[in-house]
Chain A
Amino acid sequence: MSAPRVPVGADQAAHVGGGTAARIAALLQLTAARTLRPVPLALAALLAALPLLFALMFRSTGGDESALASFLLARYEGLVVTLLLPLTALLTAAGAVSAEREDGTVLYLLTTTTSRTLLAVVRWVFATVVTSCVVTVSVVGTGLIAGGGREPTGVMLAFVVGSMVGASVYSALFLAMAVWLRRALLMGLLYVLLWEGVVSNILPVVRYLSARQVLLGVTHGLVHEAERGAETFASAPPGGVSLAWAVGVTLAALGVTIVRLRRLPLARAH
């Protein structure tokens, strides 16, 4: 019944020196299996479709080109930046890790020779890419529908880039939450709704601690001069500073994720 054994003695490096590409593919497969489930996908699709519906309404009511920029700014800020982007990032970055910690299957990842750095980076890249794709589809779709097949204001492209930066920051933050906190999905939701939705709007001083404001800051640096005075960007830090913050926060969040994965507490037995 037993298979031929690897010689015992020195480390079994001879048969376990496999490639990083295979490890990454396996990690992506396991992550996708836990993340791309019907409920999260339906939720993301619903949120992504909302701005598209508004764009259809805008277009069907005449679609005044002079109002296009302000329409897009309002919809992108109100629906994409506030809901779609953070919630998709939350589901894709924290969903898998939280579920694995909850049911114990995280052990199948931790008891391998794959480095914790690779585990963290692959999960972050997965969440960033999936979130960016979902958000880009929604942003571009909304812009093109509202603009009747073209979007001359530059708001759409600015938000595509800003959202990608935001997806990266949010994914790193939520991944860190998932390895540090037991109720990461709930805590992430509270962060999005309370901290970013309420506190950072009331207290401009905390805008640097809000991923939303940082991504708006990056977007602000990319929009045309005419849109820079928009209310959407009232609390946003300057573009360059925002980008530096985005990079710094992402790296810091990844760092604490890797540190935590090296000593990830397990559910206590009985």
Chain B
Amino acid sequence: MSQPLHEETSGLAPLGRVPLDAASPSDVPLALNHVSRWFGDVVAVNDISATISSGITGLLGPNGAGKTTLLQVAAGLLPTSGGSVRVFGRDPFGDVRTYTNVALVPEAEAVPDVLTPRQFVSARAALLGMHQPKEAAQRALARVQLDEVQDRALGGFSKGMKQRAKLAAALVHNPRLVLLDEPFNGLDPRQRAQMMRLLESEAAAGTAVVFSSHILEEVEGVASRVLVMVAGRLAASGDHRELRRLMTDRPHTVHVRSSDDRVLAAALLPSASVIGMSLEQARLTLRVTDHAGLARVLPVAARAHGISLYEVRPADESLEHVFAYLVQR
């Protein structure tokens, strides 16, 4: 699907020290060098360095991690408070020439409701200075499969169709760097798969695609490289398989309620999957190396001692916990 990436595809890079691409600066779609951005006393982006080349890069992080701010800085819409950004070798901020090669698809669903997709995308093409805006719009709408409804008002479109119209407006001039802010938000599974195919198609054509998401499955489903942001910082970056392994192999905490927690705890002690436990306030808390191991031994132990299981609940499966673990590593 996507193009091979550069130096960090085989593992996680050291935080904040991502070496620059060896290619000449003007060929690098996006280079972030110790980029920070703060609003008053709130630090939204904190000392992030990374280089983005062609292919699909997922920007993964919980809400409030600074993903949108980073994308806006990369798109030249916000100045940095520290560090530097280079888009194809140029500082993008305040330079409208940036948009010759760059497109940003915002998270906001809003589009000019009274316009049709054809009018909207064609207006974008004209504002981008294209010689044949109508023809360009036609091609872009065909790419996102909206050509059959191109004369219906956008106001009546579903969220997924609006997302595709936004994408067509962004892709109308064949940008070489496409930044998408939460493009899968609110899409149903079919629309999500369609969006993934679109991004893969863009990447296959040589475009550098960067998209943000707070859902790991979305990112690993399509991105060949992942940047993990937590609280404005780059927590990890690298190949999504390595990231997945780190996330699943970490120790997990599981809360268990049963008819006899004490006996159950004693029965689980010999299990290799359980590396620690505590019993307090009528609740057994287990520290386990892997969920699969626990899933095998827990029912066996319960049945052997005639214990009824009322609740088995992972305690730290939220993305925030996973990210916190990555940051602490």
Binding site for B on A (CB under 8 A): 1-3, 5-6, 8, 11-13, 15-18, 22-23, 25-27, 29-30, 33-34, 37, 103-105, 107-116, 262-264, 266, 268-270
> Which residues of A are found within 8 Å of B202, using beta-carbon distances?
2
* A123 nearest CB across to chain B (Å): 13
Contacts of A3 in B (CB 8 A): 139-140, 142-143, 174
Within 8 A of A (CB), among B66-91: 66-69, 72, 75, 77-79
With beta carbons under 8 angstroms apart, the residue of B72, B120, B122 that contacts A266 is B72
Residue-wise, chain B 108-132 has the 8 Å CB interface mask toward A (1 for contact) of 1011101100011011101111110
**B97:A11 contact, CB within 8 angstroms:** yes
B206 touches A105 (CB 8 A): no
CB pair A113 B112 closer than 8 Å: no
Q: Choose, from B98-106, B283-291, B293-301, the stretch at the interface.
A: B98-106
**Smallest distance from the beta carbon of B83 to chain A beta carbons, Å?**
18
Which listed residue, A8, A17, A27, A29, touches B119 by the CB 8 Å rule? A29
Q: Does B173 contact A (CB under 8 A)?
A: yes
- In the complex, which of the residues A2, A23, A270 contacts B129, with contact meaning CB atoms closer than 8 Å? A23
Give the residue name and chain of the A residue nearest to B140 (CB).
A3
Known: A11-B101, A114-B129. 8 other contacts (CB 8 A): A16-B129, A18-B128, A26-B133, A30-B112, A33-B114, A113-B127, A113-B129, A269-B68
Q: Are A30 and B106 in contact (CB under 8 A)?
A: no
In the bound complex, residues from chain A placing their C-beta under 8 Å from that of B44 are 268-269
Contact B130 A111 (CB under 8 A): no
**CB-nearest residue of chain A to B42:** A268
Chain B residues within 8 Å of A15, by CB:
130-131, 173-174
9 contacts across the A-B interface (CB closer than 8 A): A1-B143, A17-B131, A18-B129, A33-B115, A112-B124, A112-B129, A263-B79, A266-B72, A269-B66
- Given A30-B112, A105-B111, A112-B96, check contact A12 B131 (CB 8 Å): no
Q: Tell me if B201 is interfacial: C-beta within 8 Å of chain A.
A: yes
Query: What is the number of residues of chain B that contact chain A, defined by CB distance less than 8 Å?
Result: 57
In the complex, the answer to whether A112 meets B128 with C-beta atoms within 8 Å is yes
Which B residues, 217 to 238, have Cβ-Cβ distances below 8 Å to chain A?
Answer: none
Q: Is B39 an interface residue (CB 8 A)?
A: yes
Contact partner, A34, options B99, B112, B122, Cβ 8 Å: B112
A112 and B205 in contact, given A17-B129, A17-B131 (Cβ under 8 angstroms): no
Interface of B: prevailing SS: mixed
Q: Closest B-chain residue to A27, C-beta based?
A: B127
Are A104's CB and B100's CB within 8 A? no
Contact A26 B123 (CB under 8 A): yes
When the two chains form their complex, are residues B126 and A115 in contact, meaning their CB atoms are under 8 A apart?
no
Output the least CB separation between B303 and chain A (Å): 47
Instruction: Please tell me if the beta carbons of A13 and B79 are within 8 angstroms of each other in the complex.
Output: no
Cβ of A146 to closest chain B Cβ, rounded Å: 37
Q: How far is the CA of A109 from the CA of B169 in the complex (A)?
A: 11
Q: How far is the CA of A261 from the CA of B98 in the complex (A)?
A: 16
Determine the distance from Cα of A37 to Cα of B114 in the docked complex, in whole angstroms: 9
Name the distance in Å between B46's Cβ and chain A's nearest Cβ: 15
A12 to chain B, nearest CB (A): 5
B152 to chain A, nearest CB (A): 15
Q: Tell me which residues across on chain B come within 8 A of A8, comparing CB atoms.
A: 176, 206
In the complex, B306 has a CB within 8 A of chain A: no
Q: What residues of B have a CB within 8 angstroms of the CB of A37 in the complex?
A: 114
Name the residue of chain B whose CB is nearest to the CB of A37: B114
Contacts known (A105-B111, A111-B102); A22 close to B143, Cβ less than 8 A = no
In chain B between 186 and 213, which residues have their CB closer than 8 angstroms to a CB of chain A?
A: 197-198, 201-202, 204-206
Q: How distant is the Cα of A107 from the Cα of B108 in the complex, in angstroms?
A: 10
Residues of chain B lying within 8 A (CB to CB) of residue A29 = 115, 119, 123
